[in-house]
A and B are shown apart, each in its own frame.
Chain A
Amino acid sequence: MNLTLKIWRQVDAKDKGKMVDYKVTEISGSMSFLEMMDVLNEQLVNAGEQPVAFDHDCREGICGMCSMYINGEAHGPDRGVTTCQLHMRMFKDGDTITIEPWRAGAFPVVKDLVVDRSAFDRIQHAGGYISVNTSGNTQDANAIPISKQAADTAMDAATCIGCGACVATCKNSSAMLFVGAKVSQYALLPQGQVEAADRVRNMVAQMDLEGFGNCTNTGACEVECPKGISLDNIARMNRELMKASI
């Protein structure tokens, strides 16, 4: 198929940036969206132009690096996938596709479609861990049984890949789904109890400091999340925060 691409180009963080039109031809439906971008970039390089910068790495939907806002949706029109798993069969010949970076105050643009998500790392530094030494002198792994349900629910929360689609999607640029997922993973496990109160307080404080907005229960984040992280995690975080403040 032949496509028109409208892509956000921005030289660096200071540049104002603008949309630029490109054409690509003979795109196969079996291509991933990023492979289509590879075709465009090869075309640009061969024409002596600057290729479009975009983040990507594992290309199998788990590293969380890729981050494109496609036709007004984080990771594009398909559900439960990252951009690297989005296939061109979702589009049809003659389509015009708009491609933008994640847009949020806390995610400044680095170049073109690449944004700086280090705010997520800083939230994790504030409490996204259990304070256990890595010396190996811990108790046996089966010493504390954990109910299958708790382990599975913790796993569902822990499956977050930190891509930032939730923030990009949210009209308030809220990071509550991301933070809620991490808080939930530990809140559901006995190992996480000791520091639970401090953890949720510190992570939420850092989240606010980074300039992420509040949650107004729209639920768009859950819809666009490539890993299906549930809104329940935000509710659980709120409960944890409430518990921590009394």
Chain B
Amino acid sequence: MALDSKIPKGPIKDKWTDYKNHINLVNPANKRHIDVIVVGTGLAGGSASATLAELGYNVKAFAYQDSPRRAHSIAAQGGINAAKNYQGDGDSTYRLFYDTVKGGDYRSREANVYRLAEVSANIIDQCVAQGVPFARDYGGLLDNRSFGGVLVSRTFYAKGQTGQQLLLGAYSAMNRQIARGKIEMFNRHEMLDVVVVDGKARGIIARNLVTGEIERHSAHAVVIASGGYGNVYFLSTNAMGSNVTAGWKVHKKGAYFANPCYTQIHPTCIPRSGDYQSKLTLMSESLRNDGRIWVPKNLDDVKAIREGSKKPTELTEDQRDYYLERRYPAFGNLVPRDVASRAAKERCDAGYGVNATGEAVYLDFVASFERYGKEQAKIQNISNPSEAKIKELGQEIVKAKYGNLFQMYEKIVDENPYETPMMIYPAVHYTMGGVWVDYNLMTTIPGCYAIGEANFSDHGANRLGASALMQGLADGYFVLPYTIGDYLADDIRTGKISTESSEFEAAEKEVTERIEFFINNEGTHSVDYYHKKLGKIMWDKCGMSRNAEGLEIAIEEISALRKDFWQNVNVPGTSTEYNEQLAKAGRVADFLELGELFAKDALVREESAGGHFREEHQTEDGEAKRIKEFQFVSAWEYKGEPKDAVLHKEELAYENIEVKERSYK
């Protein structure tokens, strides 16, 4: 099947408006005869469920958590971008569009990104109307901060808990519709397959995670909003339950999977401390607004610090290497995430890592304490303030901005970041790849949509900070509700979809058989044993930098590990009870397939772009080197084993932005 991105004709700034003017609409009286299933209740799924229900569709929403409010969007800290230009610093829709395409290393689809930038401002209006308590200045107007990879302040925030507040906003909109009976909520339910009838997505098979019951649910369209697949690495900043299963199941039923190798490794996470580690914790990128990143200049100092005979605070300015400021004077500590992560890895690989594992760099706030402190002293008319007073005043400001992050750091690491610099190291955070979708956000299965992190469309090879929240809400509140109507307009006379068809029967049988296999296998190794092994292969060979040799080995190793898993995995308990190990077995089985496709995708993409860094393709000073021939989206068609997947290319055309070497110097 040839890929058709269905991008509307016309100038980029008119595409979305023209599109909306010409699509088919569903009459309000007919919407009540149409059912939509939404899998996932994060920012994308929650906002989509609420809006679709408000429009009049009957929504069935599914979450594996015990409440929609717990989806992992809640953990996003820093903020949400919007081209409001409230700061009057020259921001515009075009500039947000430009920054996002450039930040994505020219591997995203122009029309989608422009639309995203266009609706971004409206998101803020919407959220304020919902009662989201964004940070404000003393005049009562909304405050902004700046994020990596941009030259304006366009990020709106609610302390370090922006994702939480936006998600609770979407959750409150859902609650309104649940109360009206327009959303039927299925908590503690996991989608285990999609059901395709006559070529169209018509329902799902779900498992009740409390009773183990397998359920059939039908609908006229199915929306996948299940987030990203960062947990393929075992250790990531994702929630423990985050998984690829929903996306992978639709892939196996005909949806192409795009750019699986594009993964974001976030530069500011708390370094790992031991083998028992179950997840990694992110410190918001907003910290890079006020923190300076460094390692010692001399290896002797590194050694002394690791041994504990020297403290980082004892090093003078000229003994420190502020390597981001040195290498990227224009953007300094605010270079995009992929650049910052690779730079940290480069220093640590060269032996400058500052903790016992050699995988940590400093994030230091001393300069900000001083800068803010002096400013405050002036404001408060304190003449000749002592150094201690300046520090105290400065720390108050920093505390007001990032207090909860500092507290979190101290709880985890047991060190006071007001007194000694934080230690950070990159960790897997977000996956730009995902289910391939066209301009309508529809996958290659008619009637099956993918939104938010689950799709691939907006961030290219690297996502800018504060853009995930923007995309999730844009897709759910403002894009999907239009595009899905155009499709559903043909379904007004279809009537209720039966769950008694042979297609539902077959899908349920497959799901049940797999579950019975796990329960009856009685193997020798736990599910986590395999997940950890997979994670290690992924991190070592498909992590921050990749090469052909490593990727080829990874493919072999993952394939062998998968075989071992299907022979020797041990799942305790029964299938008719609350059984977390069983749920996890299914997720890891899918990760074991995705992981191999991931490596294959990385191998085929013989260039460096954004988060995908191929060692064979770098400039003289170690920057990512894009190659013109790879200016396409890799969309993979399922053909059984991951090694047999067939590549389809969506060529990317840049008509409104000149493709340049991405430079932050």
Chain A positions near chain B (C-beta within 8 angstroms): 11-12, 28, 30-32, 34-35, 38-39, 42, 44-46, 48-51, 53, 55-65, 78, 80-81, 85, 87, 89, 110-111, 114, 116-118, 120-121, 124-126, 128-136, 138-142, 145-148, 151-152, 154-155, 158-159, 161-162, 185-186, 189, 191-192
Collect the chain A residues with CB atoms within 8 Å of residue B50's CB: 134
Chain B positions near chain A (C-beta within 8 angstroms): 47, 50-51, 54, 65-70, 72, 74-75, 84, 86, 119, 122-131, 133-142, 158-159, 161, 164-165, 168, 171-173, 175-176, 178-179, 185, 187, 210, 237, 239-241, 273-274, 276-279, 281-282, 407-408, 411-412, 414, 477-478, 526, 528, 570, 572-573, 577-578, 580-581
| A12 lies within 8 A of B128 (CB) | no
| B411 lies within 8 A of A35 (CB) | no
With CB as the reference atom, state the residue of chain B lying closest to A191.
B131
With A and B bound together, what is the CA distance between A87 and B51 in angstroms? 41
Could you jot down 25 A-B contacts, CB within 8 Å?
A12-B578, A30-B273, A30-B414, A35-B278, A44-B572, A46-B570, A49-B572, A51-B580, A53-B578, A53-B580, A55-B66, A57-B241, A60-B279, A62-B74, A80-B411, A111-B578, A120-B67, A121-B187, A129-B172, A130-B130, A135-B54, A136-B122, A136-B477, A138-B129, A159-B164
Residue A42 contacts which of B129, B141, B411, B526 (CB distance < 8 angstroms)? B526
Collect the chain B residues with CB atoms within 8 Å of residue A81's CB: 411
CB distance from B573 to the nearest CB of A (A): 6
CB distance from A112 to the nearest CB of B (A): 8
CB distance from A61 to the nearest CB of B (A): 7
With A and B bound together, what is the CA distance between A35 and B165 in angstroms? 28
Collect the chain B residues with CB atoms within 8 Å of residue A114's CB: 578
Collect the chain B residues with CB atoms within 8 Å of residue A46's CB: 526, 570
| B136 lies within 8 A of A110 (CB) | no
| A138 lies within 8 A of B126 (CB) | yes
Contacts A34-B278, A45-B526 given; indicate if A118 touches B70 (C-beta within 8 A). Answer: no
With A and B bound together, what is the CA distance between A140 and B141 in angstroms? 11
| B573 lies within 8 A of A50 (CB) | yes
CB distance from B50 to the nearest CB of A (A): 5
| B129 lies within 8 A of A191 (CB) | yes
Say what secondary structure dominates the interface of chain A.
loop
Residue A121 contacts which of B67, B173, B277 (CB distance < 8 angstroms)? B67
| B130 lies within 8 A of A191 (CB) | yes
Collect the chain A residues with CB atoms within 8 Å of residue B281's CB: 59-60
Collect the chain A residues with CB atoms within 8 Å of residue B54's CB: 133-135
> Given A53-B580, A139-B129, 18 more contacts at CB 8 Å?
A31-B274, A35-B278, A53-B578, A59-B281, A60-B279, A111-B577, A124-B172, A125-B179, A129-B176, A130-B130, A141-B127, A145-B139, A151-B136, A152-B136, A158-B133, A161-B164, A162-B67, A191-B129
| A85 lies within 8 A of B408 (CB) | yes
| A51 lies within 8 A of B278 (CB) | no
Collect the chain A residues with CB atoms within 8 Å of residue B282's CB: 60
| A57 lies within 8 A of B277 (CB) | no
| B572 lies within 8 A of A50 (CB) | yes
Collect the chain B residues with CB atoms within 8 Å of residue A126's CB: 179
With A and B bound together, what is the CA distance between A125 and B442 in angstroms? 31
| A134 lies within 8 A of B126 (CB) | yes
Residue A63 contacts which of B65, B277, B572 (CB distance < 8 angstroms)? B65
CB distance from A145 to the nearest CB of B (A): 3
Residue A189 contacts which of B133, B137, B164 (CB distance < 8 angstroms)? B133
CB distance from A181 to the nearest CB of B (A): 11
With A and B bound together, what is the CA distance between A162 and B50 in angstroms? 20
CB distance from B120 to the nearest CB of A (A): 11
Residue B276 contacts which of A28, A49, A186 (CB distance < 8 angstroms)? A28
| A130 lies within 8 A of B134 (CB) | no
CB distance from B269 to the nearest CB of A (A): 11
CB distance from B153 to the nearest CB of A (A): 15
With A and B bound together, what is the CA distance between A62 and B284 in angstroms? 14
With A and B bound together, what is the CA distance between A123 and B123 in angstroms? 26
Contacts A158-B133, A158-B165 given; indicate if A136 touches B75 (C-beta within 8 A). Answer: no
CB distance from A107 to the nearest CB of B (A): 11
With CB as the reference atom, state the residue of chain B lying closest to A132.
B129
With A and B bound together, what is the CA distance between A189 and B126 in angstroms? 15
With A and B bound together, what is the CA distance between A12 and B526 in angstroms? 23
Collect the chain B residues with CB atoms within 8 Å of residue A63's CB: 65, 70, 72, 74-75, 239
With CB as the reference atom, state the residue of chain B lying closest to A13.
B210
| A31 lies within 8 A of B239 (CB) | no
Contacts A87-B412, A128-B175 given; indicate if A117 touches B66 (C-beta within 8 A). Answer: yes
With CB as the reference atom, state the residue of chain B lying closest to A140.
B125
Q: Which one of B68, B86, B175 has the greatest number of beta carbons of chain A within 10 Å?
A: B175
